Amino acid sequence: MECAQRRRRRCLFLSVAVIIIIIVVAVVLGLTLRKETDGLKTTFIARCEAFKGKRYDCQTVWGAFEQAYVGQDRCKVPMEAYDPLIAAAPFKHACNRMMFWSKTKYVVHDFTEKKDCFTTMQDTLLGSVLHSLKWCGKEGSSETFTTGCPGWTDCENNPVRSFWLKASAAFADNACDDVTAMLNGSITTPFNSSSIFGSIEVKRFKSPSVKSLTVVLVTEKNSVTNCTNASLKDLQKELDKGIKYNCKEVTEAQIQECSSDPEKPCSSCW
pLDDT single digits (tens) 183-233: 999 999 999 999 999 999 999 999 999 999 999 999 998 888 999 999 999
pLDDT of residue 252: 95
Is pLDDT larger for residue 54 or for residue 110? Answer: 110
- In this structure, of 171-180, 183-192, 258-267, the range with the lowest mean pLDDT score is 258-267
**CA 119 – CA 111 distance, rounded (Å):** 10
Mean pLDDT, residues 170-176 taken together: 97
SS3 177: strand
| Ramachandran area for residue 251 (φ above 0: left; ψ -120 to 50: alpha; else beta) | beta
What order of strands is seen across the sheet that includes strand 99-102? 99-102, 177-184, 210-219, 244-251
77: exposed, middle or buried (Cβ count in 10 Å: 0-12, 13-18, 19+): buried
pLDDT of residue 4: 61
pLDDT at 120 over 80: yes
**CA 258 – CA 265 distance, rounded (Å):** 8
Mean pLDDT, residues 160-174 taken together: 98
pLDDT at 19 over 70: no
**CA 177 – CA 244 distance, rounded (Å):** 11
Q: Which domains does the chain have, with CATH numbers?
A: 2-268 (1.20.82.10)
Q: How do residues 48-107 score in pLDDT, each as one tens digit?
A: 999 988 899 999 999 999 999 999 999 999 999 999 999 999 998 889 999 999 999 999
pLDDT of residue 254: 95
pLDDT of residue 6: 60
